Structure 1
Amino acid sequence: MRIPRIYHPERITPGTEVALDSDAANHVGRVLRMGPGQAIQLFDGSNQVFDAEITQADKKNVRVKIVSGEVDNRESPIHIHLGQVMSRGDKMEFTIQKSIELGVSLITPLFSERCGVKLDAERLNKKIQQWQKIAIAACEQCGRNTIPEIRPAMSLEQWCAEEDSGLKLNLHPRASASINTLPLPVERVRLLIGPEGGLSADEIAMTARYQFTDILLGPRVLRTETTALTAITALQVRFGDLG
């Protein structure tokens, strides 16, 4: 069986013994049914991975001894900040999960004129917490040892107006430039992905005022979740560590 990778929210030191949090303990003790003497790996977001051995386990409590630790850098050389206008249902969860597998560094959920998601402050806060858990699970699965942050949601213009030294990109079906025509090198990208109905004309004009470059992915119209993953993949192939 593959050795499970578990995120631990507190800093880890080799030679110590730690108790897993309730979610991790439930997964190890109840779902995987692991017991004392079995090996797991932990990571704490510090870009390190730690070999550990279970010393105590039941369905609610799991303790492990930290055997050793080492730096294990799997981060992309390109920092991609994804600004994703929120999509309905599980599409947003899918986008978050897969974009983190592809190496995105930071995600900000956005509201726009045609955003189909309407949430009050309490429900939105719960969504952010849920999306952060999805980010953690994606890192556990794909081998990343740092956890990308899911930032609080904000308006599209607020996000576009933030200071950023990187390249700013907006996907547009009538753009003339493509990712392959962007000049090398690129180390930071702020990538805007619009809603299912697209950005309005006023919003597209607004992105231009904030020096966003319109780019085209191809001749076909893609769904919002497909657009995000296609653009991230193309950026990683050209500037990052895919391919």
Structure 2
Amino acid sequence: MPISRFHEAQPLAPGQTVDLSPETVQHIRALRLESGAAVVLFNGDGQDYQGELTLSGKKQATVAIKTEVAVESESPVAVRLGIGMSLGDRMEYAIQKATELGVLSITPLATERSELRLKGERAEKKQARWQQVAISAAEQCARARVPEVAPVQALADWLQTVPLTDLRLVLHHEHATRLQELPPPTAITALIGPEGGLSEQDLARAQAAGFTPVVLGPRVLRTETAPVALLSAVQALWGDY
């Protein structure tokens, strides 16, 4: 039976006995784990910390950390995604699958065609929820680093933050350039539009910022499917598939 993994946002080290967060305790209770069970903790530093669980009542638990193991599960190609925000659970699906496929970071973007508009406290709550989706996906897929889900940004502002060394791509079904025609990159920043795609103005802004339009086959992909297709292709061409 696989050993259960849990994210703990606190310093971890062999020899420590750590108090688990209420969220982790609730998860452990749902899994019906018992005292003495072997578990793995991680905090995003690239290590897994293996230890033994002790339950103390219904709402408290500790783990005595015994060993520390470096986890080599990060993609050799650093991929940063900017995704136009969409309604419903599309963003959560995209974040979950992108995490499983090795994305480095995700920025939710307000574009001209974004139907979801977020500001202030509502934007902060959504960001926290999306970050938790990434954490849960990292737990499941055995990553020891959690992709950052950045605060919501306007597209124009985000375009100014892209690292100069990255290969810059914007997905667009009306263009003919394919991934295999590009030179092998070590880092990629990719822009994906919301439902309905990017407007002509947003596409022009991206191209002016050095983004190359690319197409992922002859079919039009949904906004939540595009990150999965892109990251799978990147891993197959240049990554760890």
1:46 aligns with 2:45: yes
Q: Deviations over 1:20-53 (max 9, x none)?
A: 101001111x201222111111111110111110
Aligned mates of 1:8, 1:208 — CA distance in 2: 40
1:90-129 matches, within 5 Å, as 90-129=89-128
Aligned to 2:202: 203
Question: TM-score w.r.t. structure 1 length?
Answer: 0.96
Q: Alpha-carbon deviation of 1:215?
A: 0.5
Question: 2:83, 2:192 within 8 Å by CA — same for their partners in 1?
Answer: yes
* Map of 1:189 onto structure 2: 188
Q: Distance in 2 between matches of 1:39 and 1:125?
A: 35
Q: In the alignment, which residue of structure 1 is the partner of 2:166?
A: 166
Q: Is the 8 A contact 2:110 2:117 kept in 1?
A: no
Letter in 1 for 2:59: K
Question: Does the residue aligned with 1:26 lie in a helix, a strand or coil?
Answer: helix
In structure 2, the residue matched to 1:24 is 24
| Alpha-carbon distance between aligned partners in 2 of 1:208 and 1:119, rounded to the nearest angstrom | 25
1:10 to 2:10 alignment: yes
Residue 237 to residue 57, structure 1, CA distance change in 2 (3 Å): farther
Determine if contact 1:35/1:57 at 8 Å carries over to the other structure. no
SS of corresponding position for 1:95: helix
Structure 1 residue 118, shift from structure 2 partner:
2.0
Deviation at 1:55, TM superposition (A): 2.4
Alignment-derived partner of residue 138 in structure 2: 139
DSSP 3-state at the match of 2:206: helix
For 1:33 and 1:219, the matched residues in 2 are separated by 47
For the aligned residue pairs, the C-alpha RMSD in angstroms reads: 1.1
Aligned pair count?
240
TM-score by length of 2: 0.97
> Do the aligned residues in 1 keep the contact of 2:38 with 2:52 (CA within 8 Å)?
yes
- Report how far residue 72 of structure 1 moved: 1.2
* 2: CA distance, partners of 1:152 / 1:120: 10
Runs of 4+ in 1 over 6 A off after TM superposition: none
Name 1:228's counterpart in structure 2: 227
Structure 2 gap segments, 5+ residues each = none
1:163 shift after superposition = 4.0
Return the letter of the residue paired with 1:26.
Q
